[in-house]
Amino acid sequence: MRIGTVRLLPRGVKKEDYARRDFFDVWLPEVAPTRGLVAYAQAKPWTDARWAAFRKKYLREMRRPEAQRVIALLAALGRQTNFSIGCYCENPWRCHRSVLGELLRERGAKVLVDWEAQATNPRSASPRRSR
């Protein structure tokens, strides 16, 4: 299963079409950065200081009750089955996916990165949760 952790669907893609058009199977915007944080991320190139600030802000956002419920669910699933986390970022290590992977790992999910899928399909999800 491929989980899309993006705030907004791709332009021109209807909610009922994202799986059919091979973006992801399930959309979970609850664990995506807010629009404001996405705007911050896209405003300038990454530096270590900007990444640290982004990470801190994203972790703060993930303390919201709705995000905590989704993170708990994903962590529980990640202890029992495989699934992938995806978004539009090219670099999984300067992306909220890496921080979300840390949050899931802290809650007992096994987190793997599928570099081959990342290299061959820019829409592919990474990090990947597996048993």
The pLDDT value recorded for residue 115 is 52
The pLDDT value recorded for residue 15 is 80
Alpha helical stretches, state H, 19-108: 35-43, 48-61, 65-78, 96-106
**Would you list the domain boundaries of the chain?**
2-129
CA distance 67 to 30: 5
CA distance 10 to 82: 25
The pLDDT value recorded for residue 114 is 61
Ordered mean pLDDT values, 10 residues apiece, the chain (131 residues): 88 84 90 96 94 97 97 95 89 91 93 58 40 37
What mean pLDDT, rounded, does the chain reach?
Answer: 85
Predicted TM-score (pTM) of this structure: 0.81
Name the amino acid, one letter, at 90: E
Question: Three-state DSSP class for 83?
Answer: strand
Q: Which residues of 99-110 are buried (b: 16+ CB within 10 A; e: fewer)?
A: bbbebbeeeebe
